[in-house]
Amino acid sequence: MNWKKAGVLAVLAAFAVPCALAQAGNASAPTAEVAAAPTALCCGVVSYNGKYLDAVIDSMHVDSLWQPRVHIDWLTGQQDQPSSSTGPDRATHCSSFTAALGLRLNVYMLRPPQHPQQLLASAQARWFHTSEGRKDGWEPLGSAAEAQTHANQGDLVVVVYESPDEHRPGHIAIVRPYEKTSEELEKDGVETAQAGALNFSNGVARNSFAKHEGAWPNGVKYYTHVVDWDALRTKWAEEKKK
């Protein structure tokens, strides 16, 4: 089985669990509790499409792929050169992981071969707010609350930092769906998935940008892109039949 088909099956299998849990929870939870929950959240509940986005992020297995200090295939995150080899593009891989997730969702952002893996995050940060980035469907967001809200709705959202030093890397992470309170958002920022010095599929922005001086909380920016979930679900269902 090739990695693309494996990814499709992983997404469909992963989504079956949160979907079933959601249905079970809705069936048994008291009406008053269901009605009251959204009022305690900063950014809304995780939608049907948001659950699909959750499953896609988990299917990328960033905890074990896109590992730092080795050269990787940017698209799959798999190590493609010996650990003893030397050369560029083997420090951290935040921008490659983010671009690969975008490709899985049929959303373009600056990526190889249009730009090398080296210093790609800062290049992406600049690209998002260009006319080309807007033409490709990316829109800026003004706050962490907006970013978390869009992710919960199933949009692809990134949080990105452009390094002021052109010779030092910036950083980029995915905003993943999460039902977060205002207090949690204020303390830790949006929920994130990232590759970096430390890879994780479920963390927070405060930790994602801790190693980049000047980034958190005022140096980061948020961008969002609509995902055509209906087209993707149709595509995945057809690929599953093959």
> Mind listing the pLDDT tens digit for each residue in 142-192?
999 999 999 999 999 999 999 999 999 999 999 999 999 999 999 999 999
What class is the 3-241 domain? alpha beta
Taking alpha carbons only, the member of 48, 58, 4, 103 closest to residue 229 is 48
The closest alpha carbon to 74, from 64, 65, 85, belongs to: 65
Measuring CA to CA, how many Å separate 172 from each of 7, 190, 208, 230?
A: 22, 13, 8, 27
- Inter-CA distances, 62 with 10, 93, 103, 141, 228, Å: 14, 10, 15, 25, 23
Domain regions of the chain by residue span? 3-241
Query: Residue 121 — pLDDT band, cuts 50, 70, 90?
Result: very high
* Mean pLDDT of the region 91-104: 96
State the pLDDT at residue 30: 40
Q: Supply the pLDDT for residue 16.
A: 44
Q: Mind listing the pLDDT tens digit for each residue in 6-65?
A: 555 555 554 443 443 334 334 344 444 444 444 589 999 999 999 999 999 999 999 999
**pLDDT given for residue 17 in this prediction:** 37
90 confidence band (pLDDT: 50, 70, 90): confident
10-19, 80-89, 214-223: which is most confident: 214-223
89 vs 189, residue with greater confidence: 189
| Closest listed residue to residue 92, CA positions, set 54, 111, 123, 65 | 65
